[in-house]
Amino acid sequence: MAADALSIIPGAVLRNLSDKLYEKRKNAALEIEGIVKQLATFGEHEKISAVISLLTNDFTYSPQANHRKQGGLIGLAAVTVGLTSEAAQHLEQIVPPVLTSFLDQDSRVRYYACEALYNIAKVVRGDFIIYFNKIFDALCKLSADSDANVQSAAHLLDKLVKDIVTESDQFSIEEFIPLLRERMNVLNPYVRQFLVGWITVLDSVPDIDMLGFLPDFLDGLFNMLSDSSHEIRQQADAALSEFLQEIKNSPINEFVKLGGEQLVPYYADILGAVLPCISDEEEKIRVVARETNEELRAIKADPAEGFDIGAILSIAKRELNSEHEATRIEALHWFFTLLDRYCAEFLAYLNDIFDPLLNALSDPSDAVVLLVLEVHARIAEESHHFHHLVSYLIRTFHNNHFVLEKRGALIVRRLCVLLGAEKVYREFSTILESEVDLDFASVMVQVLNLILLTSTELGELRSPLKKSLVDSCGKDLFQSLYASWRHSPMATISLCLLAQAYNHASCVIQSLGEEDINVNFLVQLDKLIRLLETPVFAYLRLQLLEPGKHTWLLKTLYGLLMLLPQQSAAFKILRTRLKTVPFSENLKRTSSANPYSQILQVTEDGNRNQDMQNYSAINFPFLLQQFENMQLQHRNHLKDQLQSRKSASTLTLSQEIQRYEEAHSSSLSEINRPPSRTSKGIL
C-alpha cells in the first residue's frame, strides 16, 4: 500500500511536506489536497487510504520531529480538505494519529496537532461528533499545557468544537457526563475554566438537559467557589446561579428533589464544598451556598438507601475547625439535624465526634458555644454522656480559668435551660464534692453559687430550695448542693439564706476561724450583701418585718455585719437595712439599746420562732460537722502552700548566702595568694 501511495504522490511533494520553509510545506499540502480531490472524484478510496497510511506511518509516527510536526499533520489536514463531503468515511484513519500527537513531548507537534484537527473539524463538522469524548479528553489536558502557544491553539480548537456540538443533533449528553464527572475534582485552574466553559455552553443548548445531570457535577462546581482565582469563582458562581434560576422556573421547586435518588451518594461531597463557601468573600457565592445548604438539610433520606451519615458527620467535624464562624455554625446545625433525625445512627459515630464537640465548647464565638451546648444537651439525654459532659466542663474550667471567667456563666445557664437546672447543678455538685484541687473547687462553687443567686434561668431551682425546711424535694436538693458548697464558706452561707436555714447559717458563721476570713472571703461577702438587696432575696427582707419570728435571721445578718470592715460600702448597706427592722414589744430591750443584744432576748415561747421549725427534717449538726471538716482541709492546704512558699524563699536565701560566701572566699583567696613574679617586679 505504501508503494501505491508513493506512486500517487511525487517524491518531491513528500520531501517538501516536511521542509523547514513554510511556503514549500504549504505548496506540498495544496498538491496533496488536489491529488486527493481528484482521487475522490473517481471514487479511488483505496488509493486515498493508502495516502493516509503513508502520511501516518512515515510522517505522523516518525521519530523525526520535523516529519511529525509538519509533514504528517499538515498532510492529514490536506487530505481531509481534499475529501470534503466524503471525508467522513476516512475519519477512522485520520483522527486517531492526530489525537496521538496531542501527547507528543515536542510542544510544536502538539501545536500543529491542534491546527490540523481544527482544519479537519471545519470540514467534517457534525461527522466529527463520534470522536467527541476523545477530543474533549485531549482538549482538557491541552487547556493546562505548559506551552502558551499550545494553550492558545487548543483554545481556538475548543471554540470550534463547541460550535459544532451546539448545532449537532448527534451529541450524546449521556455518554459525555461520566467523562465530565471524572474531571470535576481537578484543581488546575485552566482545567477548571475549561470545564465550567463546557458546562455553561451545554446548558445553553435547548435540546440538552444539563439540569437533569446536575448532581453529577454539582459538588465540583461548589469546590470551584473556593478557588484562589477570582475569575474561576465568578464563572462557577454564574453557572450555579443559572442552574438555580432554572430550578426555580422548573416544575420541581426544591433543589434536593432534582437529583432524586441519584443525589444521595453525593450529599457528603456536596456538603464538603458548600460549607466553606458559606463564609466566602463574595456575597453571591455565600447566598448560593446558604440556599443549597438549607435545601440539603431539608433532606429526609433513608440510611438504608445509601445515605451515609458517617460521611456527613466527617465533613461537619472537619468544618468545626474552620477559621470562619459562619461555617462552624452551619456545621453544628448539621450535627443537631442528624442527631435529631437519626439518633441511633448518630450515636454509633459518637466516639469519633464527641471529643471535637467537647473542644468546641472553648470556641471564641458565643453563638458557636450555644449551638455546641444544644448538640451536647441532645446527646446528654443518656446519663453516661451527661456525666461525661459535665466532667469535661469541670476539667476545662480547671485547666483554663479564662474560659471559666468569660464563658462559665454562659455555659452553665444554657445547660440549665436545655437539660434542667436541678439535674445540672446536682451533677456539678456530685463531681465537685470529690475534687482534689481544693482551691479550684472553692472557686468553682463560688461561680455556681453566684449563677444560682442571679440568673433568671435558675428561678426554677431557687423555688424548691426556699422550701428546703418544709418540702422533701427541697430538702434533698439542699443536701445535694451542700455537699460541694461547703468548699466555700460564703457559698454555704448563701445557700442557707436561700433555703431559709438561718439557724444553720448563724452556726456556720460562728464556726469560722481567723484563717477563713481572708480577702477572698470579704470579696464574696461584699457580693452577698449586695445580692441581699435584689429581688431574689425580697422574701428575706420582708421577713425582717417580723423579727420576733426570725431571730436567727437577724443574728445571721448581724454576724455578717460584724465580719465586715466598718468603712466598707457593704457594711454601710447592711447596717442601713438592719436599722429599718421594727423591733416588737415582745423583744425585751436591754439598757444598752444595742440591736444585737435586743434580738438575743427572745420570748419564752420557742414555737413562735419559725426559724426553729422543721429543723428536725435535716440533720444540721451533721452538716455543720461536714462543713467544719472541709474547712479544716482547706486550712491545712493553705498552711502547706505557705510552708512551701516559705521553704522556697528560705532555699533561695540560702543559695544567695552560699553564693555570697563562695564569692567572698574567692576574694580572700585572691588577697592571700602570693604575688606573681610580674606583680613583684611591678611592686
CATH code at position 143? 1.25.10.10
Question: What is the mean pLDDT of the segment spanning 382-408?
Answer: 89
Within-domain flag for 493: yes
Confidence of residue 664 (pLDDT cuts 50, 70, 90): very low
pLDDT for 598 beyond 80: no
How many Cβ atoms are within 10 Å of 607's Cβ, its own excluded? 8
Q: Is residue 507 part of a domain?
A: yes
Domain ends where: 139, 168, 197?
A: 168
Q: Containing domain of residue 560, as a range?
A: 472-582+618-644
Given a cut of 80, is residue 52 above it in pLDDT?
A: yes
* Inside any domain, residue 495: yes
Output the pLDDT for position 250: 58
595 pLDDT above the threshold of 60: no
Q: Give the mean model confidence (pLDDT) for residues 252-261.
A: 53
Mean pLDDT value of segment 203-230 = 87
Whole-structure pTM over 0.75, yes or no? no
In this structure, which amino acid lies at residue 155? H
Of 468-472, 620-624, 676-680, give the range with the top mean pLDDT: 620-624
Give the domain-ending residue among 133, 168, 203: 168
Mean pLDDT of 509-538: 93
Report whether pLDDT(683) > 60. no
C-alpha cell at 270: 456536596
Which residue in 72, 82, 95, 74 sits closest to 48, CA to CA? 82
Q: How confident is the model at residue 43 (pLDDT cuts 50, 70, 90)?
A: confident
CA dist 72 and 74 (Å) reads 6
Instruction: Please state the rounded mean pLDDT for residues 618-622.
Output: 92
Among 13-22, 407-416, 491-500, 625-634, name the one with the lowest average pLDDT: 13-22
d(CA 119, CA 116): 5
Confidence label for 633 from pLDDT (cuts 50, 70 and 90): very high
Reported confidence tier of residue 603, pLDDT bands at 50, 70, 90: very low
Residue type, 217: F
Could you give the number of structural domains in the chain?
A: 2
Task: Of 333, 267, 252, 251, give the one whose Cα is nearest residue 299.
Answer: 267
pLDDT of residue 679 exceeding 60: no
Q: Is residue 202 part of a domain?
A: no
> Can you tell me the mean pLDDT for 486-492?
95
- C-alpha 135, offset from chain centre: 42
What is the distance between the alpha carbons of residues 454 and 272, in angstroms, rounded to a whole number?
Answer: 43
Range with the lowest mean pLDDT among 83-97, 613-627, 629-643, 664-678?
A: 664-678
Instruction: Return the higher-pLDDT residue of 559 and 513.
Output: 559
Alpha-carbon distances of 123 from 113, 128, 159, rounded to whole Å: 16, 9, 15
Q: What is the dihedral of CA 167, 168, 171, 176, to 10 degrees?
A: -30
What local confidence, expressed as pLDDT, does residue 303 receive?
78
Q: How far apart are the C-alpha atoms of 676 and 678, rounded to whole Å?
A: 5
pLDDT of residue 4: 63
DSSP SS3 for 224: helix
Q: Please provide residue 162's backbone torsions phi and psi, each rounded to the nearest 5 degrees.
A: -60, -45
Asked whether residue 331 is assigned to any structural domain, the reply reads: no
**Which is more confidently placed, 22 or 564?**
564
- Between CA 334 and CA 313 the distance in angstroms is 8
> What digits encode the pLDDT tens for the residues 100-150?
999 999 999 999 999 999 999 999 988 889 999 999 999 999 999 999 999
Of the pLDDT bands very low, low, confident and very high (cuts 50, 70, 90), residue 218 is confident
Region for residue 594 given its phi and psi (left: phi exceeds 0; alpha: psi -120 to 50; beta: otherwise): beta
pLDDT confidence tier of residue 263, bands split at 50, 70 and 90: low
The confidence score (pLDDT) of residue 367 equals 93
Closest CA to 544 of 581, 595, 518, 519: 581
Contact status, residue 80 vs residue 87, Cβ threshold 8 Å? yes
pLDDT at position 662: 59
Cβ atoms of 408 and 366 within 8 Å: the answer is no
Residue 266's nearest CA partner among 233, 315, 226, 337 is 315
Quote the DSSP letter at residue 415: H
Whether the pLDDT of residue 573 is over 80: the answer is yes
**pLDDT beyond 60 at 256:** no
* Residue 32 belongs to a domain: yes
Q: Say what the pLDDT of residue 678 is.
A: 35
147 in a domain, yes or no?
Answer: yes
Q: What is the pLDDT at residue 593?
A: 46
The Cα-based distances of 516 to 83, 136, 451, 483, 521 in angstroms read 108, 84, 23, 19, 7
**Residue 477 within any structural domain of the chain:** yes
Q: Report the percentage of the chain scoring pLDDT > 90.
A: 52
Distance, in Å, from the CA atom of 481 to the CA atom of 462, rounded to the nearest integer, reads: 12
**For residue 294, what pLDDT is reported?**
86
Question: Which of 168, 197, 214 is at the close of a domain?
Answer: 168
Residue 28 CB contacts under 8 Å (≥ 6 apart), including other chains: 13, 14, 16, 17, 19, 74, 75
Residues 90 and 79: beta-carbon distance below 8 Å: yes
Cα angle vertex 452, ends 451, 458, to 5°? 105
Lowest mean pLDDT among 62-76, 329-343, 371-385, 386-400: 62-76
pLDDT recorded at residue 271 = 85
Between 416 and 1, residue with greater pLDDT: 416
For residue 280, with 0-12 CB atoms within 10 Å meaning exposed, 13-18 middle and 19 or more buried, which class applies? buried
pLDDT at 601 over 50: no
Q: So what's the pLDDT on residue 269? A: 78
CB 411 within 8 A of CB 369: yes
8-state DSSP, 362? G
* Per-residue pLDDT at 586: 47
Q: For residue 422, give the nearest of 478, 503, 500, 371 by alpha carbon.
A: 478
- Cα-based distances in Å from 647 to 638, 640, 642, 643: 14, 10, 8, 6
Residue 2's pLDDT is: 52
**Per-residue pLDDT averaged across 190-203, rounded?**
94
Least confident of 22-36, 303-317, 592-606: 592-606
Q: Is the pLDDT of residue 354 over 50?
A: yes
Average pLDDT, the chain: 85
pLDDT for position 323: 93
Q: What is the mean pLDDT of residues 316-323?
A: 93
Residue 324 CB coordination number (10 Å): 14
Q: How much is the pLDDT for 249?
A: 64
Residues whose CB falls within 8 Å of the CB of residue 101, separated by 6 or more in sequence, listed in order: 60, 68, 72, 73, 109, 110, 112, 113, 116
65-79, 233-247, 282-296, 652-666 — which is least confidently predicted? 652-666
Cα-trace Rg, the chain: 44
Residue scoring higher pLDDT (14 or 616): 14
